[in-house]
Protein backbone atom coordinates (compact mmCIF):
# COMPACT_ATOMS: atom_id res chain seq x y z
CA UNK A 1 0.00 0.00 0.00
CA UNK A 2 2.78 2.36 0.87
CA UNK A 3 4.66 1.49 -2.20
CA UNK A 4 1.55 2.02 -4.30
CA UNK A 5 0.96 5.29 -2.59
CA UNK A 6 4.52 6.34 -3.17
CA UNK A 7 4.32 5.28 -6.77
CA UNK A 8 1.11 7.14 -7.13
CA UNK A 9 2.62 10.15 -5.45
CA UNK A 10 5.65 9.98 -7.69
CA UNK A 11 3.51 9.49 -10.72
CA UNK A 12 1.16 12.33 -9.85
CA UNK A 13 4.13 14.48 -9.01
CA UNK A 14 5.73 13.64 -12.32
CA UNK A 15 2.47 14.33 -14.10
CA UNK A 16 1.96 17.57 -12.27
CA UNK A 17 5.50 18.62 -12.90
CA UNK A 18 5.20 17.68 -16.48
CA UNK A 19 2.04 19.65 -16.72
CA UNK A 20 3.76 22.57 -15.07
CA UNK A 21 6.68 22.52 -17.41
CA UNK A 22 4.42 21.91 -20.33
CA UNK A 23 2.46 24.91 -19.20
CA UNK A 24 5.64 26.94 -19.16
CA UNK A 25 6.45 25.70 -22.64
CA UNK A 26 2.98 26.45 -23.77
CA UNK A 27 3.21 29.84 -22.24
CA UNK A 28 6.49 30.47 -24.01
CA UNK A 29 5.06 29.10 -27.17
CA UNK A 30 2.03 31.28 -26.77
CA UNK A 31 4.20 34.34 -26.23
CA UNK A 32 6.17 33.39 -29.28
CA UNK A 33 3.01 32.87 -31.24
CA UNK A 34 1.70 36.18 -29.99
CA UNK A 35 4.88 37.83 -31.17
CA UNK A 36 4.39 36.18 -34.50
CA UNK A 37 0.81 37.34 -34.46
CA UNK A 38 1.90 40.91 -33.76
CA UNK A 39 4.45 40.63 -36.51
CA UNK A 40 1.83 39.23 -38.82
CA UNK A 41 -0.62 41.90 -37.79
CA UNK A 42 2.06 44.47 -38.34
CA UNK A 43 2.80 42.97 -41.72
CA UNK A 44 -0.87 42.84 -42.46
CA UNK A 45 -1.20 46.41 -41.37
CA UNK A 46 1.81 47.33 -43.48
CA UNK A 47 0.43 45.38 -46.39
CA UNK A 48 -2.94 47.00 -45.93
CA UNK A 49 -1.31 50.42 -45.66
CA UNK A 50 0.76 49.63 -48.70
CA UNK A 51 -2.36 48.45 -50.46
CA UNK A 52 -4.20 51.58 -49.43
CA UNK A 53 -1.25 53.63 -50.56
CA UNK A 54 -1.21 51.75 -53.82
CA UNK A 55 -4.92 52.23 -54.15
CA UNK A 56 -4.50 55.95 -53.52
CA UNK A 57 -1.60 55.98 -55.92
CA UNK A 58 -3.72 54.13 -58.42
CA UNK A 59 -6.55 56.56 -57.91
CA UNK A 60 -4.13 59.42 -58.33
CA UNK A 61 -2.66 57.76 -61.40
CA UNK A 62 -6.09 57.01 -62.69
CA UNK A 63 -7.02 60.64 -62.14
CA UNK A 64 -3.87 61.75 -63.89
CA UNK A 65 -4.53 59.33 -66.73
CA UNK A 66 -8.09 60.54 -66.97
CA UNK A 67 -6.89 64.12 -66.87
CA UNK A 68 -4.29 63.33 -69.51
CA UNK A 69 -6.90 61.62 -71.64
CA UNK A 70 -9.23 64.57 -71.28
CA UNK A 71 -6.37 66.94 -71.92
CA UNK A 72 -5.34 64.97 -74.98
CA UNK A 73 -8.92 64.89 -76.10
CA UNK A 74 -9.09 68.65 -75.68
CA UNK A 75 -5.82 68.98 -77.54
CA UNK A 76 -7.19 66.80 -80.32
CA UNK A 77 -10.31 68.93 -80.45
CA UNK A 78 -8.19 72.05 -80.48
CA UNK A 79 -5.98 70.58 -83.19
CA UNK A 80 -9.02 69.59 -85.19
CA UNK A 81 -10.49 73.05 -84.67
CA UNK A 82 -7.27 74.75 -85.61
CA UNK A 83 -6.81 72.45 -88.57
CA UNK A 84 -10.36 73.21 -89.62
CA UNK A 85 -9.74 76.92 -89.15
CA UNK A 86 -6.51 76.59 -91.07
CA UNK A 87 -8.28 74.69 -93.83
CA UNK A 88 -11.07 77.23 -93.88
CA UNK A 89 -8.54 80.05 -93.84
CA UNK A 90 -6.63 78.39 -96.63
CA UNK A 91 -9.86 77.89 -98.54
CA UNK A 92 -10.83 81.47 -97.85
CA UNK A 93 -7.41 82.72 -98.87
CA UNK A 94 -7.53 80.57 -101.97
CA UNK A 95 -11.04 81.86 -102.69
CA UNK A 96 -9.92 85.44 -102.14
CA UNK A 97 -6.83 84.87 -104.27
CA UNK A 98 -8.91 83.32 -107.03
CA UNK A 99 -11.40 86.15 -106.71
CA UNK A 100 -8.60 88.71 -106.92
CA UNK A 101 -7.10 86.87 -109.90
CA UNK A 102 -10.52 86.72 -111.52
CA UNK A 103 -11.06 90.41 -110.90
CA UNK A 104 -7.60 91.23 -112.19
CA UNK A 105 -8.21 89.05 -115.23
CA UNK A 106 -11.61 90.65 -115.74
CA UNK A 107 -10.10 94.11 -115.41
CA UNK A 108 -7.33 93.12 -117.76
CA UNK A 109 -9.87 91.72 -120.21
CA UNK A 110 -11.97 94.84 -119.79
CA UNK A 111 -8.95 97.02 -120.40
CA UNK A 112 -7.99 94.88 -123.34
CA UNK A 113 -11.57 95.08 -124.59
CA UNK A 114 -11.58 98.83 -124.08
CA UNK A 115 -8.22 99.06 -125.80
CA UNK A 116 -9.53 96.89 -128.64
CA UNK A 117 -12.69 98.95 -128.82
CA UNK A 118 -10.61 102.12 -128.77
CA UNK A 119 -8.41 100.66 -131.50
CA UNK A 120 -11.47 99.67 -133.49
CA UNK A 121 -12.97 103.10 -132.89
CA UNK A 122 -9.75 104.70 -133.93
CA UNK A 123 -9.55 102.42 -136.91
CA UNK A 124 -13.17 103.16 -137.78
CA UNK A 125 -12.54 106.83 -137.20
CA UNK A 126 -9.43 106.63 -139.30
CA UNK A 127 -11.31 104.72 -142.00
CA UNK A 128 -14.14 107.19 -141.76
CA UNK A 129 -11.76 110.10 -141.97
CA UNK A 130 -9.94 108.41 -144.78
CA UNK A 131 -13.26 107.70 -146.50
CA UNK A 132 -14.33 111.24 -145.89
CA UNK A 133 -11.00 112.50 -147.15
CA UNK A 134 -11.27 110.20 -150.17
CA UNK A 135 -14.84 111.22 -150.65
CA UNK A 136 -13.96 114.86 -150.22
CA UNK A 137 -11.00 114.58 -152.53
CA UNK A 138 -13.11 112.57 -154.97
CA UNK A 139 -15.90 115.10 -154.73
CA UNK A 140 -13.39 117.88 -154.98
CA UNK A 141 -11.83 116.17 -157.95
CA UNK A 142 -15.26 115.51 -159.41
CA UNK A 143 -16.33 119.01 -158.62
CA UNK A 144 -13.13 120.31 -160.06
CA UNK A 145 -13.53 118.01 -163.02
CA UNK A 146 -17.16 118.96 -163.34
CA UNK A 147 -16.24 122.57 -162.93
CA UNK A 148 -13.45 122.19 -165.42
CA UNK A 149 -15.72 120.18 -167.67
CA UNK A 150 -18.48 122.68 -167.18
CA UNK A 151 -16.08 125.51 -167.66
CA UNK A 152 -14.65 123.82 -170.68
CA UNK A 153 -18.09 123.01 -172.03
CA UNK A 154 -19.25 126.49 -171.25
CA UNK A 155 -16.20 127.90 -172.85
CA UNK A 156 -16.63 125.57 -175.79
CA UNK A 157 -20.27 126.48 -176.00
CA UNK A 158 -19.48 130.09 -175.58
CA UNK A 159 -16.84 129.88 -178.25
CA UNK A 160 -19.22 127.96 -180.48
CA UNK A 161 -21.95 130.49 -179.91
CA UNK A 162 -19.49 133.28 -180.38
CA UNK A 163 -18.37 131.71 -183.62
CA UNK A 164 -21.94 131.21 -184.62
CA UNK A 165 -22.71 134.85 -183.76
CA UNK A 166 -19.71 135.96 -185.77
CA UNK A 167 -20.70 133.71 -188.62
CA UNK A 168 -24.32 134.88 -188.47
CA UNK A 169 -23.18 138.46 -188.17
CA UNK A 170 -21.00 137.99 -191.21
CA UNK A 171 -23.88 136.28 -192.93
CA UNK A 172 -26.23 139.06 -192.00
CA UNK A 173 -23.65 141.58 -193.21
CA UNK A 174 -23.90 140.04 -196.61
CA UNK A 175 -27.59 140.97 -196.71
CA UNK A 176 -26.89 144.73 -196.54
CA UNK A 177 -27.38 144.69 -200.28
CA UNK A 178 -29.31 141.72 -201.42
CA UNK A 179 -27.87 140.12 -204.58
CA UNK A 180 -31.38 139.21 -205.54
CA UNK A 181 -32.35 142.80 -206.14
CA UNK A 182 -33.82 143.18 -209.56
CA UNK A 183 -34.31 146.70 -210.89
CA UNK A 184 -37.80 146.09 -212.37
CA UNK A 185 -39.39 148.76 -214.52
CA UNK A 186 -37.82 152.18 -215.09
CA UNK A 187 -40.86 153.84 -213.66
CA UNK A 188 -40.44 152.09 -210.42
CA UNK A 189 -36.75 152.80 -210.09
CA UNK A 190 -37.11 155.59 -207.54
CA UNK A 191 -39.46 153.59 -205.43
CA UNK A 192 -37.20 150.57 -205.60
CA UNK A 193 -34.17 152.65 -204.62
CA UNK A 194 -36.05 153.96 -201.67
CA UNK A 195 -37.03 150.43 -200.73
CA UNK A 196 -33.42 149.35 -201.16
CA UNK A 197 -32.33 152.14 -198.78
CA UNK A 198 -35.01 151.05 -196.34
CA UNK A 199 -33.81 147.49 -196.69
CA UNK A 200 -30.29 148.54 -195.85
CA UNK A 201 -31.52 150.64 -192.95
CA UNK A 202 -33.61 147.84 -191.55
CA UNK A 203 -30.86 145.33 -192.08
CA UNK A 204 -28.44 147.57 -190.15
CA UNK A 205 -31.08 148.11 -187.46
CA UNK A 206 -31.72 144.34 -187.25
CA UNK A 207 -27.96 143.62 -187.08
CA UNK A 208 -27.61 146.23 -184.36
CA UNK A 209 -30.58 144.85 -182.44
CA UNK A 210 -29.30 141.32 -182.87
CA UNK A 211 -25.81 142.30 -181.65
CA UNK A 212 -27.37 144.05 -178.65
CA UNK A 213 -29.65 141.08 -178.01
CA UNK A 214 -32.76 143.19 -178.26
CA UNK A 215 -35.16 140.69 -179.72
CA UNK A 216 -38.15 142.99 -179.55
CA UNK A 217 -36.45 145.61 -181.63
CA UNK A 218 -35.08 142.91 -183.91
CA UNK A 219 -38.52 141.47 -184.51
CA UNK A 220 -39.93 144.94 -185.12
CA UNK A 221 -37.32 145.77 -187.73
CA UNK A 222 -37.54 142.18 -189.04
CA UNK A 223 -41.21 142.66 -189.76
CA UNK A 224 -40.42 145.95 -191.46
CA UNK A 225 -37.71 144.24 -193.47
CA UNK A 226 -40.17 141.56 -194.57
CA UNK A 227 -42.60 144.30 -195.56
CA UNK A 228 -39.84 145.96 -197.57
CA UNK A 229 -39.06 142.59 -199.25
CA UNK A 230 -42.72 142.07 -200.05
CA UNK A 231 -42.98 145.61 -201.33
CA UNK A 232 -39.92 145.09 -203.51
CA UNK A 233 -41.43 141.93 -204.93
CA UNK A 234 -44.76 143.58 -205.44
CA UNK A 235 -43.31 146.70 -206.99
CA UNK A 236 -41.14 144.64 -209.35
CA UNK A 237 -44.15 142.50 -210.12
CA UNK A 238 -42.76 139.33 -208.69
CA UNK A 239 -39.26 139.69 -209.98
CA UNK A 240 -37.75 140.08 -206.52
CA UNK A 241 -39.16 136.99 -204.87
CA UNK A 242 -35.69 136.04 -203.76
CA UNK A 243 -35.60 139.15 -201.63
CA UNK A 244 -38.27 137.57 -199.48
CA UNK A 245 -36.13 134.45 -199.17
CA UNK A 246 -33.10 136.61 -198.37
CA UNK A 247 -35.05 138.48 -195.72
CA UNK A 248 -36.28 135.21 -194.28
CA UNK A 249 -32.76 133.81 -194.23
CA UNK A 250 -31.46 137.07 -192.77
CA UNK A 251 -34.04 136.98 -190.04
CA UNK A 252 -33.27 133.36 -189.42
CA UNK A 253 -29.61 134.23 -189.00
CA UNK A 254 -30.58 137.09 -186.73
CA UNK A 255 -32.73 134.86 -184.61
CA UNK A 256 -29.81 132.46 -184.34
CA UNK A 257 -27.69 135.34 -183.05
CA UNK A 258 -30.40 136.36 -180.60
CA UNK A 259 -30.76 132.81 -179.39
CA UNK A 260 -27.02 132.52 -179.01
CA UNK A 261 -26.85 135.83 -177.23
CA UNK A 262 -29.64 134.76 -174.94
CA UNK A 263 -27.85 131.50 -174.23
CA UNK A 264 -24.59 133.35 -173.60
CA UNK A 265 -26.27 135.73 -171.19
CA UNK A 266 -27.82 132.72 -169.41
CA UNK A 267 -24.50 130.88 -169.25
CA UNK A 268 -22.58 133.99 -168.15
CA UNK A 269 -24.98 135.99 -166.08
Partner 1 sequence: MEKFINIGLIVVIIASIFGGRYYYSQNSNLESSIENTQKKIERLRKEITATKSKVNTLGIRQLNNEKSRLEKQQEQLKKQLESI
Task: Kindly state whether residue 145 participates in binding partner 1, applying the rule CB under 8 A.
Answer: no
Q: Which of residues 207-246 bind partner 1 (CB under 8 A)?
A: none
Closest listed residue to residue 217, CA positions, set 207, 228, 231: 207
Least Å distance, CB 113 to partner 1, is 44
Letters for 82-121 (x = contact with partner 1 by CB under 8 A, - = none) are: xx--x-----------------------------------
Residue 192 and residue 184: Cα distance in Å, rounded? 8
Q: Check residue 27 and give left, alpha or beta (phi > 0: left; psi -120 to 50: alpha).
A: alpha
Residue 159: exposed, middle, or buried by beta-carbon count in 10 A (0-12, 13-18, 19+)? Answer: exposed
Task: Kindly state whether residue 71 participates in binding partner 1, applying the rule CB under 8 A.
Answer: yes
CB 12 within 8 A of CB 18: no
Task: Kindly state whether residue 55 participates in binding partner 1, applying the rule CB under 8 A.
Answer: yes
Residue 14 and residue 267: Cα distance in Å, rounded? 198
Task: Kindly state whether residue 141 participates in binding partner 1, applying the rule CB under 8 A.
Answer: no
Q: What residue ranges bind partner 1 (CB under 8 A)?
A: 2, 5-6, 8-9, 12-13, 15-20, 22-23, 26-27, 29-30, 33-34, 36-37, 40-41, 43-44, 47-48, 50-51, 54-55, 57-58, 61-62, 64-65, 68-69, 71-72, 75-76, 78-79, 82-83, 86
Amino acid sequence: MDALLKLLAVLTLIWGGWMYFKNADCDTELKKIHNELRVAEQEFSDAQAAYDAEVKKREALSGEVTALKENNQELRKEIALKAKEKRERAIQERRERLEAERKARAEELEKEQEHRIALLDREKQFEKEERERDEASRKEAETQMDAEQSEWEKEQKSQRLQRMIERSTRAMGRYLTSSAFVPGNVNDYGQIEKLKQNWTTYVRACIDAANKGDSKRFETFGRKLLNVANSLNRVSKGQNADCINDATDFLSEGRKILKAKNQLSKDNP
